[in-house]
Amino acid sequence: MKKFTTEIGVPVYVSLNKNNSQAKYHRLPQSHLEPSVKPSCLSRMCSSNRKSYIYFILFCGFVLAACLYITRRMPSCSDEHLGLEEERVYNHIKDLLYNTGMTEENGLVRYHVDMLDSNKQFDVESNDVIVFIHIQKTGGTTFGKHLVNNLDLKKPCKCRRKKKKCKCLRPNSDNSVWLFSRFSTGWLCGLHADWTELQECVPGELDRLERDKPSGQPALRRYYYVTMLRDPVPRYLSEWKHVQRGATWKTSRHVCGGRTPTAEELPPCYAGESWKGVSLREFIDCPSNLAHSRQTRMLADLSLVDCYNLTTYSPEDRSTLLLSSAKTNLLRLAYFGIVEYQKESQFLFEQTFHFNFIRQFEQHSETHADNAYDLESDEDMESVRTINEIDSELYRFAKSIFLRRVDIMKKLALDADGELEEDSLLAS
């Protein structure tokens, strides 16, 4: 009799007759097994109490899943948090791209690719308001002027020569505005107010401006936030050149949490009236320079990082939280364009708001920042890229969403013959 072991570990004994012509197979009972092949403790447990073992495994799996869920939900600022947060936000894009209609959250209407839901389309004759987040050196001045004097409207904005503001009133009203921006209402929430400031300020300022609620109760409105973004490196260099020529934004309020930052929280980078003549290295080396990753900061909810108090979080954790918040808020905007894609930005705005611009957007091939690439050292340029690292990540994130939206909107604009309508910007 010879012993063999099957693939699943079951011992089988085979007895052969003298001429090996016949074989008889025997599976011996457990009691006759040799000590070396006795089943393990786990095998005995499975055999004697298999159902209890299965329940035990299921319980362990449930506990593990619960721990993973709790860990994921906790506000972690570990080194892996940024990657996990990116994955979470990217997964959320699926809803933003493929669900029908725009969604509304506390009066804030954010973009959805399918604009067929008439209940969420912008209505200039109703209570809808476009709020423009004007980030420095992102083509905001040009875009802002497009909004007040280049839209084909039933009742165009009234702009007077040598006046900085235009009256953008609804067709059925003499005091209700549909646009909150530099060239319509002015800097009511402060010079270049960011997301945090506008969220706290816009409703009250519109109530005060329109004076249609003497009882003190806020008017019910829907807000469509929009902005323009730009490649962070040329944007940063453009701001540096602008400041070098003597420009300042000293009157910006930077209100967060109901107050402006203290001098200790936001110390000035220079003494005197301006920073005129500043070198790129000096511009880079000021730690409180708000030009660093400006787009991320201006789109983030600063209350999440204790506003301008830099002692609450480490620099790494603060950057992680700011980037995560900026990405989330970017998805909550009704629209954003990109300076490097003027034609596509115009097309996406027109498809989103169902307005047409009278004149086409122009793509400038050269800017003030272009000369800086050749004049500055490689070390300084590398420093510019480093201090704008989270802005670069935000820009890559925004660009991928933007191009996807343009592509899908282009498909929605196809006529029955499978071609874009003749008046479409992207028909060619």
Catalytic amino acids? 192
What is the token pair recorded at 188?
A: 């009511």
How far is Cα 102 from Cα 330, in angstroms, rounded to an integer?
14
Contacts of 236 (CB under 8 A, 6+ apart): 137, 291, 292, 294, 384, 387, 388, 391
If DSSP codes are grouped into helix, strand and coil, which group holds residue 382? Answer: helix
Distances (CA, A) of 284 to 225, 243, 278, 290: 31, 12, 10, 10
Segments of 59-210 assigned E as strands: 103-105, 108-110, 128-133, 158-159, 166-167, 179-180
Q: How long a stretch of residues is the chain?
A: 428
Tokens 């035990």 sit at which residue?
56
What is the token pair recorded at 237?
A: 């260099």
DSSP at 132 = E
What letter represents residue 372's amino acid? A
Q: Give the helix/strand (H/E) hosting 18.
A: none
